[in-house]
Chains A and B, each alone.
Chain A
Amino acid sequence: MAVLVLAEHSNAALNDVTAKTVAAAKAFGGDIDVLVAGHNAGGAAEAASKLVGVRKVIHADGASLANGLAEALEALVVPMMTGYDAFFAPATSVGKNAAPRIAAKLDVMQVSEVTAVHDASTFERPIYAGNAIMTVKSSDAKKVITVRGTAFKAAEGAGSASIETVAAPAGPFKSAFVSEELSKSDRPELASAKRVVSGGRALASAEQFNQYILPLADKLNAGVGASRAAVDAGYAPNDYQVGQTGKVVAPELYVAIGISGAIQHLAGMKDSKIIVAINKDEEAPIFQIADFALVGDLFKIVPELTGKL
């Protein structure tokens, strides 16, 4: 058996979720090859070759792969799949975009956001925003899987896989990259941060969100998140959103500030190791899952906490 794992990367560097996807592929079994599809992505290919348990890295490089677009990834991956039993992609915006397209071309029903791999055909995944966990058995000859990175632990150690270079698909494609606005931040990336500080609607404005949440995040060297309510109200950008429809995080420490704890938010953070909730409403559902609950006025508590840390 052999598995092709799609690497998540920024061309220069490999994203941590790749190693976690390799860990999921390991539970599936067989040889593991990692596909680094990008443009000037030598750095990411080099890093992928050092992941433990990888047979080889396939490095496809070209302008058509610069932005991780689904059509180019489909053109690259589908012909390669004759040699593999499974395609594993991290459930990132690139993986979620491309994997179902590849699955349909292979006439395979994808298993999305897998949180456990029992054997080569049995997988666990959350449904209903994590309110239920479904175990499914796939009857497809090949499997297409997206992996929820927070559910897997990257293997320790270092490998030394060979790197094979292949051509990028030439196109032309019917979709073209126009532009990108990436949020610039020196803070740890939300999805992989060891600590996360999140703000909710109680912050009441973008100014107060920045004034209260950011200094505490900086003090803790934490990534910054937000509830959907805060994002919808315009207090925080959308890529801060933690929840069913945003990012799923599972840091060592999650600090929820002024977040009531709607089901869809809890779906995105309830696997965090330690949860701290600060909220003035004693009845807020967030307190039912928090390890440490502090009831009170966030506008007094947060500056005090930031000052004393």
Chain B
Amino acid sequence: MKVLVPVKRVIDYNVRPRVKADQTGVDLANVKMAMNPFDEISIEEAVRMKEKGLATEIVIVSIGPAQAQETIRIGLAMGCDRGILVQTDAAVEPLAVAKILKAIVDVEQPGLVIAGKQAIDDDANATGQMLAALLDWPQATFASAISKDGDTLKVMREVDGGLQTLALQTPAVVTTDLRLNEPRFASLPNIMKAKKKPIDMKTPADYGVDITPRLSVVKVTEPKKREAGEKVADVDALIAKLKSVGAI
């Protein structure tokens, strides 16, 4: 079974994003970028499936600027076999991403797409579900365990009240949650080897997908600031304060 893993280059998890003064967006100039953390989890899961003999080939795809090649190289160093970069400097919305991925799936014919449940920049949590809809494939979002039994995937999902397990016919789309696995670090020899792995360079036009955004940004602003309150000396003072504001 071939596995396709889409990844996104985003602001590094540890960097605090700054809103631009002209309110047009978040400042990405000279900010450390990295792979979306959920996508690292997707790659790790695909690589583990390959190590168990469940997956035969892992194709990593990114849609983004030329620098997204670096993100793909990280995935190749973690164990993906080859990459595809659909190059564009435009911001591509989840719906258009799903359409491009569908076109790639039509060519590559994977048995499984493993995607992160959300990207930590736009927090949309939509691409995997949209891809499953466009392909008419079953979906399991927020996965915390994946196992394979013949042509059936068993996926345990994180839901509001606890855990839910689904059985999916393949091909299918799974989106990953934090507890699925702990991604490995690429070793130096693997980073060197990854440099020889192929990356296909494409554009959205190659797939005939119109990436014109449906949502236009009116403005991006700082959230309301919350002022720091007061220090209380001890438990009695805390209880007195909570009573005074009617919280208890």
Query: Is B216 a contact partner of A137 (Cβ separation < 8 A)?
Result: yes
Question: Which chain B positions have C-beta within 8 A of A137?
Answer: 215-216, 218
Interface status of A167 (Cβ within 8 A of chain B): no
Out of B11, B160, B239, name the residue touching A92 (CB < 8 Å).
Answer: B160
Given the complex of chains A and B, what is the CA–CA distance between A97 and B217 in angstroms?
A: 25
Q: A253–B243 Cα gap in the complex (Å)? A: 12
B residues near A175, Cβ cutoff 8 Å? 138-140, 166-169, 172
B52 beta carbon closer than 8 Å to chain A: no
Asked if residues B126 and A132 are in contact (CB atoms below 8 Å), the reply is no
A154 close to chain B: CB less than 8 A: no
Interface of A, secondary structure class, is: mixed
- Tell me if A135 and B133 are in contact (CB < 8 A): no
Q: Which chain B positions have C-beta within 8 A of A96?
A: 125, 141
Residues of A within 8 A of B238 (CB): 276, 292, 294, 305
Inter-chain CA distance A253–B219, complex, in Å, is 31
Contact status of A127 and B214, CB under 8 A, knowing A295-B231, A308-B235: no
Which DSSP category, helix, strand, loop or mixed, fits chain B's interface?
mixed
* Chain A residues positioned under 8 Å from B172 (CB to CB): 174-175
A93 and B178 within 8 A (CB): no
Q: Most chain-A Cβ atoms within 10 A of its Cβ — which of B127, B130, B219?
A: B130
- Our count of residue pairs bridging A and B at CB distance below 8 angstroms stands at 242
Instruction: Assess the B141–A180 pair: CB atoms within 8 A.
Output: no
Q: Is the CB of B230 within 8 A of A293?
A: yes
Q: Is A81 an interface residue (CB 8 A)?
A: no
Interface status of B248 (Cβ within 8 A of chain A) = yes
Contact pick for B228, options A93, A104, A109, A287, CB 8 Å: A287
- How many chain A residues sit at the interface, stated as a range, is 35 or more
Contact A97 to B129, CB < 8 A, known contacts A174-B168, A180-B165: yes
Residues of B contacting A122 with CB < 8 Å? 218
CB-CB < 8 A to B118: which residues of A? Answer: 245
Q: Which of B65-73, B92-100, B200-208 contacts A (4 or more CB under 8 A)?
A: B92-100
Tell me which of A32-40, A48-56, A67-75 binds B.
A67-75
Contacting pair B160 A93 (CB below 8 A)? yes
Q: Do the beta carbons of B215 and A111 come within 8 Å of each other?
A: yes
Q: Is B179 close to A, CB under 8 A?
A: yes
Query: Is B21 among interface residues, defined by CB-CB distance under 8 A?
Result: no
A198 within 8 A of B: no
- A10–B98 alpha-carbon span in the complex (Å): 31
CB distance from B46 to the nearest CB of A (A): 20
Q: Which A residues fall within an 8 A CB radius of B?
A: 67, 69-71, 74, 92-94, 96-105, 107-113, 122, 126-140, 173-183, 191, 220, 228, 231-232, 237-239, 244-245, 247, 252-253, 263, 270, 273-276, 287-295, 301, 304-305, 308-309
Given contacts A274-B242, A292-B232, A292-B238, 8 further A-B contacts (CB under 8 A): A93-B160, A109-B94, A113-B125, A127-B122, A175-B139, A180-B165, A220-B248, A245-B118
B residues engaging A (CB < 8 A)? 11, 16-17, 19, 26, 93-95, 98, 117-118, 120-134, 137-142, 144, 154, 157-169, 172, 177-179, 213-223, 226, 228-232, 234-236, 238-239, 241-242, 245, 247-248
